[in-house]
Structure 1
Amino acid sequence: MPGGDPLSPEADNARAYAEAVRTVFGELPDLRHVPELPGRGAIASMTGRALAVVDGLPADVQPAGWRLTDATGIDQRRARSLLAQDLDRVEEQAQGYAGPFKLQVTGPWTLAATVEKPRGDKVLADHGARRDLAQGLAEGMLAHVADVRRRVPGASELLVQVDEPALPAVLGGQVPTASGYGRHRVVQPPEASEALATVFAAVEEAGGVPLVHSCAPGFPIGLVRGAGARGISVDLAVLDAASYDPLAEAVEAGERVLLGAVPSVDPATAPTAKSVTERVHRLLEMLGLEPTPGLVVTPACGLAGASAAWARSALDLARQAARDVDS
């Protein structure tokens, strides 16, 4: 979601996050979640949030971005402190809530494509380092999911969204090297599946339901489901024909399927709830499917690039369309 500024006083960012939590809890009565405000800087980014959760792997922010280090740096400590503060505010608003609840974390392959090794270049370049990162994330998720479950005791179902926007690029050998002149080698599907399965298993052990989100073209739905994901979240704008069959299989299996049908940034012309509903119905008709309880209408991707006004409108549109799809 939008909000926050790395140059603003801490109190201003705290107020921005509290407002984001109130917006989520006000606009999404049936599926509330832990909002993210990456505009507050590196410690609140997708990568910073995940490294606040990762267990046993110290890190810090360097000029090129997040890097694994020999000892926990001040930025990782700040990321952990910020996450705990944000969860305190979520816990306050969650009092008395009963229903499904969602949190999210950056997945092992997007982390490997983003975080650097101690001596430079991405973790993705080192087989052992990327295995350690996946295991550290899995260990950290055991504690993190248990913490959120304690804070939101009324959650009937705890959905854990694993964000993997870089997964298609990792599988396709499209992640740039540090120099920018080359590309990292292709990661083969069996290794990609193994790392994902490690994280998914930890989520389930902690009592969560793992689902995977990617708004990048070429999202390997079959691979993530085979690794143990119990749900998927897709951007309808980049969904290709190769995704139709695995998407239909997920719907028919009764899994959570989040359909990104609402623009994530302020559109030139705002869609109506009716047009969003019709878009979802056209997809279901093409797949030969009927609406199921597991279908959820969402914004296409994160709302960090949206204005505060559009963020509220997008959530309201998603809520209205989800209601109309089921009717």
Structure 2
Amino acid sequence: MIATALGSFAGRDYAACCRAVLGELEHRAPLPELPARGPGADMIGRSACLLPEMPVDLSPAGWRLCQGSSLIAARARRMLADDREIFIETMQGWSGIPAITVAGPLTLAACIDLPRGGRAIGDAGASHDIAQSWQVGVGDFLHEIVRLTGRAFAVQIDEPCLAQVLDGDVSDESGRHRLPPVDAQEARRVLAESVETARSGGDQVVLHCCADDPHLDVLGGAGADALSLDVRDWGRDRWDELAQWCSADPARRLWLGLVGADEDDLGARAIARRFSQARAHLDLAEGSPRLDGWAITPACGLASATGTGQWQILRDLVRVAADL
């Protein structure tokens, strides 16, 4: 068992954050996101700027597709390139496995508007184009960072909007109505193709969803090496479904989200109890070899944590993982 984080952090000093993340996490650490720095540093803008031939701009309603390049998108690309250089430089002498976090194509389509208005997820053609562009752009980004570092990277595909997309809970432009749900089989296909693209990172591919109902039939059927889930408030039925997913293939791994960004005072003992409860739900004995390669993590990103609290959460997770 190891402890790791899921990408976003509080604060604005990128170099200091990289040093802290790599100092706290010995085995796996993400290239940090610091959304407090403003537009383009957020998960959606950061990932949307990777989409080739699909320029984006920022409107009062959020990110949208547009006809030509925009200053804010160019800023996002420069910021990501600068962040990559800082992270690579800071990684020198660190022996763990780095990770890239990127918003998945379904979440991007659910959060980006069409040029004429309305979420892209409501237009099958636009959603398809985003997914295709995502494969090219993310693939190129991974090839480049692997080339620059000579190291394998894990890839975490974030799909926090998956449940909304599948449940038909994405609002239209007016906010008064909901867009039709995306077919589960189509969503699974899109995710499976994204997972295959992400394998160019050379290490494992993780699908993350922090929704109460992550739709394990879709998320777990996409072929990822691991699922990253917020399991704090799960009921028996959901645990049973996850146990079935795990037992179907011994190579499948879990990243268990055990502590929220607002729980920096929870402490290592309480986190350890939550893990013991999760292990019992999954019918895994203490010290089971099935747990090799698994991880414990924050439930989601730590951007809403306090500057000092986020590091306390990571230290507590590392302490628990070391004792498992």
Does TM-score exceed 0.5, indicating one fold?
yes
Q: Percent of aligned positions with the same letter in both sequences?
A: 34
Q: In 1, Cα distance between the equivalents of 2:294 and 2:201?
A: 24
Shift of 1:208: 4.4
Matched residue, 1:50: 47
Counterpart for residue 181 of structure 2: 186
**Where does residue 9 of structure 1 map in the other structure?**
none
User: Using a 3 Å threshold, how does the CA distance of structure 1 residues 191 and 154 change in structure 2: closer, same or farther?
Assistant: closer
Match of 2:67 in 1: 70
Corresponding residue for residue 8 of structure 1: none
Contact 2:104 2:159 in 1 (8 A): yes
The question of 1:136 aligning with 2:133 is answered yes
Structure 1 Cα separation of the partners of residues 218 and 192 of structure 2: 10
Check whether the contact 2:49–2:77 (CA below 8 A) recurs between aligned residues. Answer: yes
Q: Within 1, Cα distance between the matches of 2:245 and 2:211?
A: 18
Asked if the contact 1:106–1:162 (Cα under 8 Å) also holds between the matched residues in 2, the reply is: yes
Which fold has the larger relative contact order, with Cα–Cα distance below 8 Å and residues 6 or more apart in sequence? 2
The one-letter code of the counterpart of 2:74 is R
Does 1:217 find its partner at 2:212? yes
Find out whether 1:278 has 2:273 as its counterpart.
yes
Residue 310 of structure 2 is matched in structure 1 by 311
**Structural mapping, 1:190-269, within 5 Å:** 190-252=185-247, 253-266=250-263
Distance 2:29 2:148 in 1: 13
Closer, same or farther in 2 for the Cα pair 1:241/1:159, shift >3 Å?
farther
Aligned mates of 2:132, 2:97 — CA distance in 1: 27
Partner of 1:3: 11
- CA distance in 2 between partners of 1:256 and 1:100 (Å): 16
Aligned to 2:6: none
Deviation for aligned residue 1:246: 4.2
- Whether the 8 Å contact between 1:60 and 1:69 is mirrored in structure 2 is yes
Show the counterpart of 1:323.
322
| Rounded Cα–Cα distance in structure 1 between residues aligned with 2:65 and 2:151 | 37
AA matched with 1:45:
D
Aligned-residue offset at 1:100: 2.2
Report the TM-score when normalising by structure 2. Answer: 0.91
Matched, 1:110 2:107: yes
Equivalent in 142, 160, 164 of residue 159 of structure 2: 164
- The answer to whether the aligner puts 1:296 opposite 2:291 as a matched pair is no
Aligned residue for 2:220, secondary structure, equals helix
Q: Distance in 2 between matches of 1:76 and 1:58?
A: 8
Q: Is 2:28–2:96's contact at 8 Å kept on the other side of the alignment? A: yes
**Whole-angstrom CA distance in 1 between matches of 2:120 and 2:170:** 11
Kindly state the Cα deviation for residue 274 of structure 1 after the two structures are TM-superposed. 2.0
How much has 1:21 moved relative to structure 2? Answer: 0.4
Give, in whole Å, the separation in 2 of the partners of 1:254 and 1:100: 19
Deviating more after overlay: 248-257 vs 50-59: 248-257
Gaps of 5+ in 2: 1-8
Offset from partner CA, 1:262-283 (integer Å, 9 cap, x none): 221255xx12212211210121
The answer to whether the 8 Å contact 1:162/1:210 transfers is yes
Taking a change above 3 Å as real, the CA distance of residues 249 and 55 of structure 1, as seen in their structure-2 partners, is farther
Whether contact under 8 Å (1:256, 1:294) holds in the other structure is: yes
Distance 2:53 2:253 in 1: 31
1:59 and 2:67 aligned:
no
Q: CA deviation at 1:197?
A: 1.7
Q: Tell me the C-alpha RMSD between the 2 structures.
A: 1.6
Residue 168 of structure 2 corresponds to which residue in structure 1? Answer: 173
Inter-partner Cα distance in structure 2 for 1:119 and 1:238: 39
How far 1:247 moved relative to its partner?
2.5
**Is the contact made by 1:99 and 1:154 (CA closer than 8 Å) also made in structure 2?**
no
TM-score of the two chains, using structure 1 as the length reference:
0.90
Matches of 2:253 and 2:215, distance apart in 1: 16
1:28 aligns with 2:25: yes
Aligned-pair CA distance for 1:238: 3.7
Residues 297/323 of structure 1: CA separation in 2 closer, same or farther (3 Å cut)? same
Contact between 1:277 and 1:324, CA under 8 Å: does it hold in 2?
A: no
Cα offsets for 1:197-234 (capped at 9, x unmatched): 22111112453432111111110223123122111111
Query: How far is the alpha carbon of 1:94 from its aligned partner?
Result: 1.0
Aligned partner of residue 147 in structure 1, secondary structure = helix
Q: How far is the alpha carbon of 1:250 from its aligned partner?
A: 4.9
5+ residue gaps, structure 1, are: 5-15
Go from structure 1 to structure 2 and tell me whether the alpha carbon gap of 1:212 and 1:145 turns closer, same or farther (over 3 Å shift): same
Cα deviation, residue 56, structure 1 = 2.0
Distance 1:175 1:243 in 2: 23
More divergent stretch after superposition (198-207 vs 126-135) = 198-207
- How many residues matched? 310
